[in-house]
Structure 1
Amino acid sequence: MEISKCCLLLLVASSLSYIVCSTTVSHDGRALIIDGQRRVIFSGSIHYPRSTPEMWPDLIRKSKEGGLDAIETYVFWNGHEPRRREYNFEGNYDLIRFLEEVQNAGLYAILRIGPYVCAEWNYGGLPVWLYKIPGMQTRTDNQPWKDEMQNFTTLIVDKVKEERLLATQGGPIILLQIENEYGNGDIEIRYGEAGHRYINWCANMAESLVSDVPWIMCQQSDAPQPMINTCNGFSGCDGFTPNNGNSPKIWTENWTGSFKIWGSPHPHRPVEEVAFQVARFFQSNGTVQNYYMYHGGTNFGRTSGGPYIATSYDYDAPLDEYGNIRQPKWGHLKELHASVKLMEKALTYGEVVEDHLGNGLTITKFSGDGIVPGCFLSNQNSTVDATISFQGTNYFLPAWSVSILPDCKKEVYNTAKVKTQTSIMVTKKDNAGDQSKDLRWSWKPERLHDSAKGFGNSFTVNKLLEQKTTTVDASDYLWYTTNVEVSKKESFTLSVSTTGHILYAFVNGRLVGSEYATGGTYNFIFERKVTFKPGKNQISLLSATVGLSNYGAFYDNTPVGIVGGPVKLIGKNNTILDLSESNWSYKIGLDGEVRKLQLDEERWYSGVIPTKRPFTWYKTTFQAPLGSEPVVVDLLGLGKGEAWVNGNSLGRFWPNFTANPDGCKQCDYRGNFQTNKCQTACGEASQRWYHVPRSFLKRGEPNTLTLFEEAGGDPNQVNFQTVTVGTACTSAGEGDALSLSCQGGRTISSVDFATFGEPDGTCGDYESGGCGSDEAVAILKDACLGRESCSIKISDTIGTSCAKLASPRKLVGQVTCS
């Protein structure tokens, strides 16, 4: 695909010439216009910090092969400016390299600067140091905020301009975004008139930086011109109308699934439902559609928004967390993209005529002079299949499906008729080297006693401080320590009101209790009976977070920690001693964090290691698994903490937080999708497998895994495995080709099931049905055994033993890859 046109510029003064490739980007009410042509654009979100630079080319290549025209990403302010005016554009924050990889692949880019991003990202992408600036109020008509937001936005725009990455400079960027979801729900309303002024300021500021590439504002119904307001959601974008007649219809976020939550089952969105909504969007004059996410990736480090977002950001995307192709989602959508592209001219230039037949049935025709017409036949009934008679031909439409007829004669695609292979991914130990069950561990205790006794405290004030603004997000942990004097041995109830996610209480260096926030309510009162000795007694409270809030009006003002308390001692006869304004000293982070034990190679204890012991550091070495398949570490058996490989953080782990056992049932794709509709892993660990990118590993020499275990677990179950296709299933009817493939050099080792007709059960669990299984198995064995992939053309000569089988005949097969 060409993304630009080239014009020759002559430098007469130096008698030199060079070619500058540029692309004009504009729009009207019908479509985005690129180099004078209205275009249909399929885009997909890939967030560069949620993968590694070594992964980017492969992810982008697979996206292009899946039929995408563009890659979309947010820009993550708190990753790029972790400290004020100290910038980071290295490693997986190398935004320019990422955009250049997109350009090298011949794709467009959509850059959503924000700089607020939401994205289930820690603090919505805002750096916490903003609150060190006097008078700061974010996302409103506030001068300190506007100064900082404009400074960062200008920085990003200047960077892409310097590297000539705007489309008009010959680069890939065809759309830019300012702000994000500000008009969603009642967010803007709650900011009042200052919010309206702020949105107008955003538009003017953005346009002053770049005026020759369009800007968008998603979920912003009052977006000022020339901003293009856009739609987000699982559904409903077919009925979305921009707020200006000159704005094209853009779907910024078509959620391909959803994020994983600690303590919840895994959500899955069936590809039939995704495809249905995409087809309906283009049937209703849509022009740019972006999948959120096309590759979700991993929340490395402490980047997940919280306190509920898991480390995996797989999102049930067409490319899974590790970069594998997820089938049938990737393949079925690829066929959809190709089908829609066949009628691009009709969709963007043709006149539209709709015929509503009743009961959710609609025929939409796009046609015009000199244009090959294109048609959509849709059945929006979620329960009843239908047959539509159109231009003398009958077309069968399953419930909740759309058929695409690029020439208004032949159906080339139906959203509910999936012909792509289904792949069941498995973890395998066979390529994991010698370390799978023989890891030798060493350990170190976290120096709790020292911290609980106040050693290392850095400052003292007479109040209980808010946690995130005290730590400036340098750690999940903050120590609060004070002293109390009593004249004799006495018992009290220690009462602590906290908005932290976890609280540990120590008296005189001894842990007296802990409590986790439950049920999504991060505001609780911790109470424990404690006994004080005569004289001075020390109370130390360790508050822990699991990510900072990332969404909603004034979300950034959500308090964290023991801010204000109260912290009280309740004695006999309910006498109360309020310690909230006592002399409190503070220490940011754990001792092991300060000493960077994940990088420490010396003085670890060996021999028999303690297990089920909270606040313990563990370390082991291992060999990198062989091959090129993605690597994961199985942390089942551990409690809660953080993991590192060779000093690179894999993110927070919490495998002892199990999902509710209820809520998983047979999935029906029909009807608008909700996150609790199709779930798996009920009653299991919210997350068990943690991605270890190959670029984190050293080949041929020992690698180091370091774990910080907060809750108490057993590292002896930890092992490394690779992720690959284990089982593959597909089906094809007469005139089509049945295709099967493995990955990573693995081959088809067995044919486990084959039949003509419709079998009982589903992929991985076929039982019986159809006919001629012996003949079908023989055909698949002959074509597929020992091969990494195979393809069989289905003809009417196949299935001679099934003469009575209704036409069109269908071949179904299931194989194992090893």
Structure 2
Amino acid sequence: MAMYGQKHSFEIKGGDFVYDGEPVRIISGEMHYPRIPHQYWRHRMQMLKAMGLNAVATYVFWNAHEPEPGKWDFTGDKNLAGYIKTAGEEGLMVILRPGPYVCAEWEFGGYPWWLQNIEGMELRRDNEQFLRFTQLYINRLYQEVGNLQVTKGGPIIMVQAENEFGSYVSQRKDIPLEEHRAYNAKIVQQLKNAGFEVPTFTSDGSWLFEGGTTPGALPTANGESNIENLKKVVNEYHGGQGPYMVAEFYPGWLAHWVEPHPQVSATSIARQTEKYLQNDVSINYYMAHGGTNFGFTSGANYDKKHDIQPDLTSYDYNAPVTEAGWVTPKFDSIRNIVKKYVNYTVPEAAAKIPVIEISSIKLTKAADMLEAAREQKPVESDKPVTFEKLNQGYGYVLYSRHFNQPVNGKLEIEGLRDYALVYVNGEKVGELNRYFNNYSMDINIPFNSNLEIFVENMGRINYGSEIVRNTKGIISPVKINGNIIEGEWEMYRIPMDKAPDLEKIKKSNVHNLTTAIPEKLLMGKPAVYSGTFNLTETGDTFIDMESWGKGIVFINGINIGRYWKIGPQQTLYIPGVWLRKGQNEIVIFEQQNDKVHSEVKTVKVPVLNKLNDGQ
């Protein structure tokens, strides 16, 4: 393969992918830049090379780059150009998948949450407002990476238009097929208008090509293991010839909370890899290395049984390279097969990043989050309002209402999105949970009392027709005994976009855990814990949260993601580059807090497949 830094040609011609006039087979691995600390990008690229791959594919996450309208961020772990340049330096071609919809088990499938606030906006269709914003996004993306196309001396060889659109078409039969097709063609055109000149492609299940393919873009078939069928459908939609590519070949699978972590055998993946390579099929392993849904980036699936299926913080995916960048038997199996079919040298795997264990991290302070939330000025309304109307994308909102008269009976919150703890006068009285379709409970509110509903956004739906109904918080009336509770609602915003600072919380609400464990004051309340720990050496590690309830963890100010004792994930990955020699800070926000904690530890091996009973 020619060197990165010089201009080259890449085209689809005569049924082949052609690089500088020579046919080339793509053996790619999917790997997403914001799911990996940028300090580790090169290490993970080297792991892909050691698996025998010659390309890396990545989605582009619109919501990561435009957190607010017109405010762009391409820094740090979001430095897409840096990621692509690193791939080029490591001798990998790059396949760019900018969506604008990506799915990816990522919050809202990559859409910015604030799109839902725009008047007249209809997502993922031939809608003037929507297409105005997608063109702005694609233009801004081109500014960032357009000069990294292979034709301009960079490593980008292809760009995907939309993503699994045929699947969406099959679910949105309320929209005419002609309109779907018009929208899909406009996304291809927007990429070209912006300046992308490398070949475009679409990616769908082979049975969904009618809705998902679009003229001028190569159709690729996700998950298609039958070679004859792959060639048949591509020929039908691509002028009777290839090239033939499986743009998503799944060596593992995605995982949800409350469900076992899927496992895919190394033998089956090695066998299928060989089948593809014997038949000159290009492939992209989805995922080659999954990484982590840090912060509030994990999305959710939807089904009628559960209403929502939130994705884990870990995006290990049972992939050939683990969440922390380790070799697996699956990695070795793929590498051994690929080496038989390529004419380039496959290097050895990069050295494993050091792993450390911290036997005890003492937590020295804690505060009641209900009390801390009440210190701010609330938003007042006659009825509860959504996160979006509060101009808040992620985190938590405390909904509060005072009752002058006693009331008891059935509390119903049909529009709960997604998880709530319910308090009367500061005492926990119940838990509601969209996953379990648990939207009601008995309640007894005495004379002159406060009802408080502490609501968590567990990640917006990222796949399917429900993606267009993705507001969070309380999105419909709160009822008691069938009566709508209106008037004098107060909303306290708790976005958790930064680690809570106990120095800024009222001193009477901050408890010293080194002198006494204030169980009566904190038990059952959502609580913030903090502590410090000193290290003489740094390395990757996994914080063990199995004895906790539900919440998030900040390490040196970085939100490393959600935990939930129910599993199957019981540990959270802490990249060593986020730790430092000397003093480190930890902040844990624990929602359930059924017991008061005074310490936490880390372990050297992650626990990703242990389900615990109970809701």
TM-score (norm 1): 0.66
Match of 1:293 among 271, 282, 287: 287
Judged with a 3 Å threshold, the aligned counterparts in structure 2 of structure 1 residues 147 and 635 are, in CA distance, closer, same or farther, namely same
Q: Does 1:623 align with 2:530?
A: no
Alignment of structure 1 residues 392-411 onto 2, 5 Å: none
Question: In structure 2, the residue corresponding to 1:540 is in which secondary structure?
Answer: strand
Match of 2:423 among 506, 522, 536: 506
Judged with a 3 Å threshold, the aligned counterparts in structure 2 of structure 1 residues 61 and 595 are, in CA distance, closer, same or farther, namely closer
Give the Cα separation in 2 of the matches to 1:691 and 1:594: 19
The amino acid across from 1:290 in the alignment is: N
CA shift, 1:285, in A, is 4.2
Give the Cα separation in 2 of the matches to 1:155 and 1:577: 49
Question: In structure 2, the residue corresponding to 1:564 is in which secondary structure?
Answer: coil
The amino acid across from 1:65 in the alignment is: A
Question: In structure 2, the residue corresponding to 1:497 is in which secondary structure?
Answer: coil
Identity %: 27
Alignment of structure 1 residues 58-457 onto 2, 5 Å: 58-161=43-146, 164-184=147-167, 186-187=170-171, 189-192=173-176, 193-210=178-195, 212-219=197-204, 221-222=209-210, 223-233=213-223, 235-236=225-226, 239-240=229-230, 241-242=233-234, 243-245=237-239, 246-286=241-281, 288-306=282-300, 307-326=309-328, 328-341=329-342, 432=357, 435-437=358-360, 439-449=361-371, 451=373, 456-457=376-377
CA shift, 1:481, in A, is 2.8
CA shift, 1:594, in A, is 7.6
Q: Does 1:694 align with 2:576?
A: yes
Judged with a 3 Å threshold, the aligned counterparts in structure 2 of structure 1 residues 450 and 494 are, in CA distance, closer, same or farther, namely farther
Question: In structure 2, the residue corresponding to 1:203 is in which secondary structure?
Answer: helix
Match of 1:476 among 384, 388, 395: 395
- Stretches of structure 2 that go unaligned for 5 or more consecutive residues are 301-308, 607-615
Judged with a 3 Å threshold, the aligned counterparts in structure 2 of structure 1 residues 211 and 54 are, in CA distance, closer, same or farther, namely closer
Residue equivalent to 1:606: 513
CA shift, 1:604, in A, is 5.8
Query: What do the CA deviations read for 1:590-615 (whole angstroms, capped 9, x no partner)?
Result: 7x778832897996623233576441
Question: In structure 2, the residue corresponding to 1:199 is in which secondary structure?
Answer: helix
Judged with a 3 Å threshold, the aligned counterparts in structure 2 of structure 1 residues 641 and 504 are, in CA distance, closer, same or farther, namely same
- Stretches of structure 1 that go unaligned for 5 or more consecutive residues are 5-19, 344-419, 571-575, 658-684, 725-818
Judged with a 3 Å threshold, the aligned counterparts in structure 2 of structure 1 residues 249 and 714 are, in CA distance, closer, same or farther, namely farther
Structure 1 stretches of 4+ moved >6 Å:
592-595, 598-603
Give the Cα separation in 2 of the matches to 1:511 and 1:722: 35
Question: In structure 2, the residue corresponding to 1:151 is in which secondary structure?
Answer: helix
Conserved? CA contact 1:319–1:325, under 8 Å: yes
Judged with a 3 Å threshold, the aligned counterparts in structure 2 of structure 1 residues 482 and 718 are, in CA distance, closer, same or farther, namely closer
Conserved? CA contact 1:24–1:167, under 8 Å: yes
Question: In structure 2, the residue corresponding to 1:623 is in which secondary structure?
Answer: strand
The amino acid across from 1:463 in the alignment is: K
Judged with a 3 Å threshold, the aligned counterparts in structure 2 of structure 1 residues 338 and 518 are, in CA distance, closer, same or farther, namely same
CA shift, 1:564, in A, is 2.0
Give the Cα separation in 1 of the matches to 2:391 and 2:269: 40
Conserved? CA contact 2:552–2:588, under 8 Å: yes
Higher strand share: 1
Conserved? CA contact 1:120–1:550, under 8 Å: yes
Give the Cα separation in 1 of the matches to 2:502 and 2:11: 50
Judged with a 3 Å threshold, the aligned counterparts in structure 2 of structure 1 residues 495 and 315 are, in CA distance, closer, same or farther, namely closer
Judged with a 3 Å threshold, the aligned counterparts in structure 2 of structure 1 residues 539 and 720 are, in CA distance, closer, same or farther, namely closer
Give the Cα separation in 1 of the matches to 2:56 and 2:504: 39
Give the Cα separation in 2 of the matches to 1:585 and 1:132: 21
Residue equivalent to 1:653: 563
CA shift, 1:92, in A, is 0.7
Give the Cα separation in 2 of the matches to 1:293 and 1:688: 22
Residue equivalent to 2:484: 578
Give the Cα separation in 1 of the matches to 2:184 and 2:462: 20
Residue equivalent to 1:738: none
Query: What do the CA deviations read for 1:365-422 (whole angstroms, capped 9, x no partner)?
Result: xxxxxxxxxxxxxxxxxxxxxxxxxxxxxxxxxxxxxxxxxxxxxxxxxxxxxxx99x
Judged with a 3 Å threshold, the aligned counterparts in structure 2 of structure 1 residues 483 and 211 are, in CA distance, closer, same or farther, namely closer
Whichever of the two has the greater Rg, that structure is 1
Conserved? CA contact 1:3–1:108, under 8 Å: no
Judged with a 3 Å threshold, the aligned counterparts in structure 2 of structure 1 residues 613 and 118 are, in CA distance, closer, same or farther, namely same
**Structure 1 stretch 704-713 or stretch 97-106: which is displaced more?**
704-713
Give the Cα separation in 2 of the matches to 1:645 and 1:598: 15
Q: Does 1:710 align with 2:591?
A: yes
CA shift, 1:178, in A, is 1.7
Match of 1:588 among 484, 493, 514: 493
Q: Does 1:2 align with 2:6?
A: no
Conserved? CA contact 2:273–2:334, under 8 Å: no
The amino acid across from 1:710 in the alignment is: Q
Judged with a 3 Å threshold, the aligned counterparts in structure 2 of structure 1 residues 594 and 299 are, in CA distance, closer, same or farther, namely closer
Conserved? CA contact 1:122–1:302, under 8 Å: yes
Give the Cα separation in 2 of the matches to 1:598 and 1:57: 37
Give the Cα separation in 1 of the matches to 2:563 and 2:462: 20
Judged with a 3 Å threshold, the aligned counterparts in structure 2 of structure 1 residues 221 and 625 are, in CA distance, closer, same or farther, namely farther
Match of 2:546 among 636, 648, 661: 636
